[in-house]
Amino acid sequence: MKQILILTAASVLALFAQEAPAQKGAEPAKANIIIETDMGTETISRHIYGHFSEHLGRCIYGGYWVGEGSAVPNTRGIRNDVVEALKKTRIPNLRWPGGCFADEYHWMDGIGPREKRPRMINTHWGGVTEDNSFGTHEFLDLCEQLGAEPYICGNVGSGSVEEMSKWVEYVNFDGVSPMADLRRSNGRDKPWNVKFWGVGNENWGCGGNMTADFYADQYRRYATYARDYGDNRLMKVAGGANSTDYNWTEILMKKIPHHMMWGISLHYYTTNWSNKGSATKFSEKEYFETVERCLNIEKALDRHITVMDSYDPEHRIALVVDEWGTWWDVEPGTNPGFLYQQNTMRDAIVAGLSLNYFNERCQRIKMANIAQTVNVLQSLILTDGDKMLLTPTYHVFEMYKVHHDATLLPLHLNCGRYSLEGREVPSLSASASRDANGTVNISLVNIDPSGESEVLIDLRGGEFSEVAGRILHGAELNAHNTFENDETVRPGVFNGARLKKNILSLKVPPASVVVLTVN
């Protein structure tokens, strides 16, 4: 039956598909989409829309944490404006304390009275001295204020099995024990019951320069002593591969018993490592190359998933893309070790494409974490003293929250091509889901920076009478928000969709992200 359905969809598309390359001054590129609105078996986990915050630059200090005596409005030292902004995206989880920082972080230095906490040098990021005023209690307070699940990354590179085991006990045990009693003496009676735990970070690199075989053995040791307490079952994430290292994924799937891990991580940045380039000053060619690299994420995901499928056809192990995003040169005049960069419509396009890819693979991808939430890399939020702004990437996350925990709908897309200097990529990306109320949500990204996309969407399996939309669009590819003008790029109402007899027709403007809600 499934084969017949797919053939039928393909036949319909073939009747009215036009594949002319998009060119400046040309007619709008045609795209045709079929969505099976009464089908779908997989859930898009809200945790795909997770975040990552490392002790790096001004992400923690100045980003989240200003201290209780700050003139910046705060709750127990945590910025109110940042918390309120992230809550509007329904932030599902937050990964901390790193990143490379995690494998030099000793958690006991970050508990107890702040004035007595030892200082440390952040050797990975700028060589700055940290006073450890933001530690376990502060992080978990932040997560409670956000309504987000904490995702703690343990220290495998320079730590010990005992150290991580005691951290889990300190955070999660409700009985009488040295660590639980220590937690109570530091002001927290009840445990936090943290579920998500990463066992090391990038252990092929900054987390210890280990081989996959050696790390797999280390994981088994660490995971054994990271214990469940009470009814809380840990969801342990093994430190996975760097981008296209499929061998690393295979060795972990082969050597680690599957009952010992909930997921395997993957890190993939949309970056030209030999020449990152400016976040705001770039040519169309550089934009095109960024989109190409973003499409390569899709290919890498599929190859890692193929490896995992060969060992785990039941999809019991999650793929956790817990670092992803763009990585440009730092802003001129800023500390190179702080990784502070601006954020434009180009970044929003990458975010929309990546999230569409993750949605489509939600049978295997159960969590992802963009790097990073505040003031670092592809940030959702930038701060400067008491000022705060929302980036184009923030707005994509806020618009896409309609997909959280919704049912992924089968979607068949046929579209034109965006071409430049003899190379081409698909001009359109799309994802669709159905929420618990039966509302169908469709996210569309037009990659082409100069040509609009004329789209017909066939909504099958239901009766629909209303459509509403929102759009994120900038006057230029490098459009971005500044502290002087913080609303240059923001979502607007999209009134361009027409619905007749379950057929949606619309024109998606160049280099834009559109989200439609259909009832």
Query: Alpha-carbon dihedral of residues 323, 325, 327, 333, nearest 10 degrees?
Result: -100
Cα gap 366→358, rounded to integer Å: 9
Q: How confident is the model at residue 28 (pLDDT cuts 50, 70, 90)?
A: low
Fold of the domain built from segment(s) 2-40+409-518 = Immunoglobulin-like (2.60.40)
Q: Kindly report, residue by residue over 108-137, the tens digit of the pLDDT.
A: 999 999 999 999 999 999 899 999 999 999
CB-based burial, 20-44: b 16+ in 10 Å, e otherwise: eebeeeeebbbbbbbbbbeebebeb
What mean pLDDT comes out for the span 194-198? 98
Q: How confident is the model at residue 24 (pLDDT cuts 50, 70, 90)?
A: very low
Q: Which residue has the tokens 């949606």?
A: 504
Note the pTM of the prediction, 2 decimals: 0.93
Q: Kindly report, residue by residue over 125-177, the tens digit of the pLDDT.
A: 989 999 999 999 999 999 999 999 999 999 999 999 999 999 999 999 999 99
Locate the DSSP E strands across 286-427: 318-326, 365-371, 381-384, 387-390, 406-408, 411-415, 417-420, 423-426
Amino acid at 52: F
**pLDDT over 80 (residue 2):** no
Contacts of 175 (CB under 8 A, 6+ apart): 229
Task: Return the bridge partners of 229, or none.
Answer: 232
What average pLDDT does the chain have? Answer: 94
What mean pLDDT comes out for the span 27-47? 92
Please tell me the predicted confidence (pLDDT) of residue 29. 72
Cα gap 341→99, rounded to integer Å: 18
Characterise 150 by phi-psi region: left (phi > 0), alpha (psi -120 to 50), beta (else).
beta
- The secondary structure of 289-320 as a DSSP string is HHHHHHHHHHHHHHHHHHHHHHH-TT--SEEE
CATH number of 43-56+85-408: 3.20.20.80
Are 456 and 449 within 8 A, CB to CB? no
Are 151 and 369 within 8 A, CB to CB? yes
Q: Kindly report, residue by residue over 252-309, the tens digit of the pLDDT.
A: 999 999 999 999 999 999 999 999 999 999 999 999 999 999 999 999 999 999 999 9
**pLDDT over 90 (residue 26):** no
Query: Alpha-carbon dihedral of residues 89, 91, 97, 103, nearest 10 degrees?
Result: -110
Contacts of 437 (CB under 8 A, 6+ apart): none
Q: Kindly report, residue by residue over 413-467, the tens digit of the pLDDT.
A: 999 999 999 999 999 999 999 999 999 999 999 999 999 999 999 999 999 999 9
Rounded to 5 degrees, φ, ψ at 295 are: -65, -30
Q: Which two tokens stand for residue 15?
A: 């009747």
> Which of the residues are catalytic?
202, 323
Q: How confident is the model at residue 373 (pLDDT cuts 50, 70, 90)?
A: very high
Please tell me the predicted confidence (pLDDT) of residue 12. 39
CA distance readout (Å), 246 to 83, 235, 303, 305: 37, 23, 7, 10
| 19 vs 96: which has the higher pLDDT | 96
What mean pLDDT comes out for the span 39-53? 98
Cα gap 374→420, rounded to integer Å: 34
Please tell me the predicted confidence (pLDDT) of residue 276. 97
Cα 182 to its chain centre, rounded Å, is 34
Relative to beta strand 453-460, strand 29-36 is parallel
How many other CB atoms sit within 10 Å of the CB of residue 87?
Answer: 13
Percent of the chain with pLDDT over 90: 94
Please tell me the predicted confidence (pLDDT) of residue 181. 98
CA distance readout (Å), 404 to 26, 37, 207, 317, 400: 37, 17, 32, 20, 8
Domain ranges of the chain: 2-40+409-518, 43-56+85-408
Q: Which residue has the tokens 């214990």?
A: 227
Q: Kindly report, residue by residue over 394-405, the tens digit of the pLDDT.
A: 999 999 999 999
Are 498 and 506 within 8 A, CB to CB? yes
- Write the DSSP symbol of residue 280: S
Q: What is the CA radius of gyration of the chain?
A: 23
Please tell me the predicted confidence (pLDDT) of residue 27. 59
Q: Kindly report, residue by residue over 236-247, the tens digit of the pLDDT.
A: 999 999 999 999
